[in-house]
Amino acid sequence: MDRTAIIGVGMTTIEAEKRRETFADMTWEAVNKALSDAGMTIADIDNVVTTSSDFWDGRTISLMAVGDVSGAAEKNVSCVEGDGTYGAFYANARALSGSYKTTLVTGHSKGSQCVSSLITNAAFDPIYERVLGMDMITASAMQANAYMNRTGVKPEDAALVSVKNHGNALKNPMAQLPMNITVDDVMASEMIADPLRKLDCSPVSDGCCAVIIAHESVATKFKQKPIWIRGLAFCTDSFFFGDRDLARSKALTEAAKKAYAMAGIKDPRKEIDLVELYDAFSYQELLWLEEMGLADYGKAAARLKAGEFNLDGALPVNPSGGLLSGHPVIAAGLYRIAEIVLQLRGDAGAHQVKKAKTGLAHGVNGLCGQSHCVWILDKEK
């Protein structure tokens, strides 16, 4: 198979409410930042993949809002609905299929413009479940209970994820919620759905991220040092919670296994230097790390406590502050990819980790991590 690389990234700051910018304005900013990061003009881009959601955007054919500002008017274009990692997956396939050389991929979302509880309630089955009134938070609480019951992990243990990630965000100027907090602060925050407290939950956010993927034949033609795509895979589990083991995530294990195999990674714990993952809720960072094979099942909390996942730990996890510090749905996974790219290039600034040759970025679709997408990126080809 041919090789591809990420040669430019651009992101807006993540904010609670971007009143001055529409979807198009945010995208315009991210696209131009990515182009300038890559040392390209829009004429150097030969096709576009946007990522958006008609539900979250409150608009049928939501891609229509961002086509112009992505430079798509004269180019081939498509749109993936779901997390940005999936949009980028398709963008990468377009570069590998021999049809295109440089794909611009964008992901945008404005949580501030809609009611998250209603939008995520619409992800439940309309005939059997929706009238019961669950949403993303109450569903995730159900998963947290299942996980904690199985592993003996306590809410206080998961709270430490929030403490670490909000702390990391203090060093990331793009993050929405930089905070110096303690486990006691998390445990004293409002209980929303047992065992999830306000500070265990990611916030409502606005933001846009853009990434440029290039085929190897042009990857070194532009200004930026390419970050190579070594492995990527996605996998979807059953829909109904009652069909799945909510305390585990089979689909993530499978996606990670495939991505490692493609990347030629034999021992991920030794070979992966840092992780940016989809911590929409504090417990998820622990569960996802375990299901990716980066910690033993039920043991991530102990390693977190030992400081291993800190910015200066053995395996930094979410040095950017993660979703807990800013969660523009849809764009969130693309931010994870962009963050890993900056880290591997050594361009992450104050939240730069020391050893950064191989990084993992992760995105999620659906409720309680029904579907996962895993990317392995590398400084070297």
CB of 144 to another protein, least distance (A): 8
Q: Is 277 helix (H, G, I), strand (E, B) or coil?
A: coil
The window from 28-36, 125-133, 217-225, 270-278 that contacts another protein (CB under 8 A) reads 125-133
CB of 6 to another protein, least distance (A): 16
Residue 25 or 185: which CB sits closer to another protein? 25
Residues 278, 365, 375, 379: which binds another protein (CB under 8 A)? Answer: 365
CB of 247 to another protein, least distance (A): 8
- Tokens 């190579």 appear where? 228
Taking the C-alpha atoms of residue 202 and residue 205, their distance in angstroms, rounded to an integer, is 9
Between strands 227-236 and 274-276, the pairing is unpaired
Taking the C-alpha atoms of residue 305 and residue 89, their distance in angstroms, rounded to an integer, is 34
Residues 15, 37, 157, 254: which binds another protein (CB under 8 A)? Answer: 254
Taking the C-alpha atoms of residue 370 and residue 277, their distance in angstroms, rounded to an integer, is 15
CB of 260 to another protein, least distance (A): 15
How many residues appear in the chain? 381
Q: Quick one: CA torsion of 118, 121, 126, 130, rounded to 10 degrees?
A: -100
Residues 106, 120, 205, 224: which binds another protein (CB under 8 A)? Answer: 120
- What's the distance, CA 182 to chain centroid? 25
Surface-to-core class of residue 239, CB atoms within 10 Å of its CB (0-12 exposed, 13-18 middle, 19+ buried): middle
CB of 124 to another protein, least distance (A): 8
The window from 36-44, 114-122, 263-271, 353-361 that contacts another protein (CB under 8 A) reads 114-122
Between strands 47-51 and 76-80, the pairing is parallel
Residue 245 or 347: which CB sits closer to another protein? 245
> What would the two tokens of residue 16 be?
């609670």
CB of 26 to another protein, least distance (A): 13
Could you say whether residue 356 binds another protein (CB under 8 A)? no
Cβ neighbours of residue 188 closer than 8 Å, sequence gap 6 or more: none
Taking the C-alpha atoms of residue 104 and residue 209, their distance in angstroms, rounded to an integer, is 11
Radius of gyration of the chain (CA): 19
Residue 243: CB atoms within 10 Å: 8
Residue count, binding to another protein (CB under 8 A): 92
Residue 347: CB atoms within 10 Å: 13
> What would the two tokens of residue 274 be?
């840092």
E strand map for 278-352 = none
Residue 114 or 179: which CB sits closer to another protein? 114
State which of positions 233-252 bind another protein (CB under 8 A): 233-243, 246-247, 250-251
State which of positions 45-104 bind another protein (CB under 8 A): 53-55, 58-61, 63-65, 67-68, 72-82, 86, 89-90, 92-99
Q: Quick one: CA torsion of 187, 135, 140, 89, rounded to 10 degrees?
A: -120
CB of 43 to another protein, least distance (A): 16
The window from 133-141, 177-185, 301-309, 311-319 that contacts another protein (CB under 8 A) reads 133-141
Residue 258: CB atoms within 10 Å: 16
DSSP 199: G
Could you say whether residue 367 binds another protein (CB under 8 A)? yes
Residue 192 or 218: which CB sits closer to another protein? 192
> What would the two tokens of residue 287 be?
């569960």
CB of 116 to another protein, least distance (A): 8
Could you say whether residue 123 binds another protein (CB under 8 A)? yes
The window from 232-240, 267-275, 299-307, 331-339 that contacts another protein (CB under 8 A) reads 232-240
Interaction pattern, residues 261-300, with another protein; x per rule: CB under 8 A:
----------------------------------------
CB of 62 to another protein, least distance (A): 8
Could you say whether residue 20 binds another protein (CB under 8 A)? yes
State which of positions 158-217 bind another protein (CB under 8 A): 190-194
